[in-house]
Chains A and B, each alone.
Chain A
């Protein structure tokens, strides 16, 4: 071998090693993938200890008055302080001073009217998530309710800053109100675990993070006939992850901390903000005493971006029976050993604690995380014995939608992309604008929407629930049963949903419910006629 060839051979070997390292290192370091699309925001305070404080159930709101058709409620959006940490109190934005907000319980056949008063420093918008609501009460993202006290807003509001870039932020507002607004909820819909939360354009993420979310539990005769566990056996559980600052306040990586002008979050948090303190109904890692009976647990993932995989450890001897989801009861119970839940989704389950010995400590774990966030809350079984409950084999009659009945198939792409020269998120290549209509649908018709995702995108449609008919080349997944209003799209996934449009004519939005994606423009309009 000539010296030149030896040198070449050595060079080839060197190049091969370089190539192996240059490719192998990034390859191996990224093999695991991610359970949630988002970036952890570490708290600047020691995280509170787990399983010390009791679980609380948000108060049920009493109507201010009622007449033959309608129950009237009053909710004030207000700053409040809550003891989340053992140390300093945490300032929150709340509905009626509590986080979660007060629970509204409604029954099909009676209209609910809620008068919201905005005593917060910034404009608000309320959306009843999962509600079959006329457009003027649905909380369109620019239907602002301006603060009763405009001083903060007037001080910080800078129109110049808002009209920067490409005019996406020039919107002054849609159908706005000063101080208060009454939402009319006909609630002509099946019994379901609904929730209400802030929906202000560009600022939903920080507003919900600060506490603007509450349950709305809707009932109907079909559900009542099942005599499901109720009272203290019917537990709405709102799971949220949050991060806290050293002074006890909530930490959030806003570009504009006044939450008035420039939307968005710093750096890779545009992928989603993940907290490192797990709250259930506003309490970090709470404990609950459970009697040895069957509980109805209504799980709501109200995290901005975090996906959850919930499991009881040790597992309940009789398993977990899912009876409902976003838009109401399933046709029949579905058994699970764990529950996967994307942001905004609900799973309504029955768990029989009677198989556990008194004194057993059961941890609700989250298998999508390995840190402290791998735990959610704890149940401690006592020796109380409520009446045994037998899970019915049929729950509700839901006429299945048929793909053959679809009048059109539409395709929407949920992907990363530029928004006003910043990293953002697009629906079919377009950032949200109140003036761009992505779909015109006819009420009374059924459509197939094919949804493609690059990352995790929990896609939510207002007004009309849907059924998942396919994921990739497969059928629906284990948590897709029943009527959904939010689908857990996973990276690279392509899913088909069947939507029956029904309700009220007008303009509605559909969007990603990773709230940082939503705020960074992953939203679009449809008009129903």
Chain B
């Protein structure tokens, strides 16, 4: 799987670049999972703020899975770009989100809620936008 966008034939242009389909699917799966997990953080926050203690545990455990899903998206973004001749944006976007979510987790543990909550909303928005972009039909 070392064929990448860079090595595709310069003569025939993008239309004939070797475009494998499976990497985009991997990216779609991981980024969608990350978006769902992140959105559920708001669901669980709502629940523990209604007095359901196990939802706090879920919120904390799901923080790890959210970060993990974004880490996986970094890998699938690389694969999409390299093996699937995908666009450039997914990789920096996934890396930025990874950093934001790691920060979000840290702020959660430190109970810096004045930042944690707006940043949480931002992370969710960005992940949804990224997911929507990933699902845009590719020609």
- Mark A residues whose CB is within 8 Å of B: 4-5, 8-9, 11-12, 15, 18-19, 22-23, 26-27, 30, 32-39, 268, 270-272, 413, 415-418, 426, 429, 454-456, 490-492
Contacts and interface: CB of A to CB of B under 8 A. Distances in A.
Interface stretch (B3-11, B51-59, B75-83, B98-106): B51-59
Contacts, number: 88
Contact of B36 (A11, A23, A415, A417): A23
B40 A5 contact: no
A235 B13 CA distance: 91
Interface in B110-137: 110-111, 131, 135, 137
A271 B39 contact: no
Contacts of B56: 416, 454-455
A22 B111 contact: no
Given A5-B137, A19-B36, A23-B36, A11 B25 contact: yes
Nearest to B49: A492
Q: Closest 10 A-B residue pairs measured CB to CB?
A: A33-B50, A271-B53, A34-B51, A30-B47, A492-B49, A22-B36, A491-B51, A8-B137, A27-B43, A34-B52
A30 B52 CA distance: 8
A15 B52 contact: no
A33 B51 contact: yes
Q: Chain A binding site: helix, strand, loop or mixed by DSSP?
A: mixed
Interface string B51-87: 1111111100000000000000000000000000000
Given A23-B43, A413-B111, A429-B111, A35 B51 contact: yes
B123 to A, nearest CB: 15
Contact of B51 (A18, A426, A455): A455
Classify chain B's interface size: 20 to 34
Interface of B: 21, 25, 28, 32, 35-37, 39-40, 43-44, 46-58, 109-111, 131, 135, 137-138
22 contacts: A8-B137, A9-B137, A11-B28, A15-B28, A22-B40, A26-B40, A26-B43, A27-B40, A30-B43, A30-B47, A33-B50, A33-B52, A34-B51, A36-B51, A268-B57, A270-B53, A272-B53, A413-B111, A429-B111, A490-B51, A491-B48, A492-B49
A270 B57 CA distance: 12
A18 B34 CA distance: 12
Nearest to A5: B137
Nearest to B58: A26
Nearest to B134: A15
Contacts of A11: 25, 28, 135
Nearest to A269: B53
B51 A37 contact: yes
Contacts of B50: 30, 32-34, 491-492
Given A4-B138, A491-B48, 6 more contacts: A12-B135, A15-B32, A26-B47, A37-B53, A454-B49, A455-B51
B66 to A, nearest CB: 12
A19 B35 contact: yes
Contact of B55 (A23, A30, A36): A30
Contact of B48 (A5, A270, A454): A454
A208 to B, nearest CB: 20
A56 to B, nearest CB: 33
Contacts of B55: 30
Contacts of B109: 417-418
Nearest to A19: B36
A418 B36 CA distance: 27
Contacts of B46: 30
A30 B135 contact: no
A455 B52 CA distance: 8
Contact of B40 (A23, A268, A418): A23
Given A23-B36, A27-B43, A268 B53 contact: yes
Given A8-B138, A33-B47, A271-B53, A19 B111 contact: no
A34 B135 CA distance: 38
A35 B47 CA distance: 12
B53 A455 contact: yes
A415 B111 CA distance: 8
Contacts of B28: 11, 15
Contacts of A492: 49-50
Contacts of A32: 50
Contacts of B35: 19
Contacts of B111: 413, 415, 417, 426, 429
Contacts of A272: 53
A246 B47 CA distance: 34
B135 A8 contact: yes
A456 B48 CA distance: 10
Among B25, B28, B49, B53, chain A packs the most CB atoms within 10 A around the CB of: B53
A289 to B, nearest CB: 37
A376 B37 CA distance: 42
A27 B43 CA distance: 6
Contacts of A270: 53
A23 B25 contact: no
A19 B32 contact: yes
B49 A30 contact: no
Contacts of B58: 26
A26 B59 CA distance: 11
A418 to B, nearest CB: 7
Contacts of B32: 15, 18-19
A39 B53 CA distance: 8
Among B37, B43, B54, B109, chain A packs the most CB atoms within 10 A around the CB of: B43
Contacts of A5: 137
A490 B35 CA distance: 30
Given A12-B135, A33-B47, A454-B48, A18 B36 contact: yes
A454 B50 CA distance: 8
Contacts of B36: 18-19, 22-23
A507 B35 CA distance: 50
Contacts of B40: 22-23, 26-27
A416 B54 CA distance: 12
Contacts of A38: 53
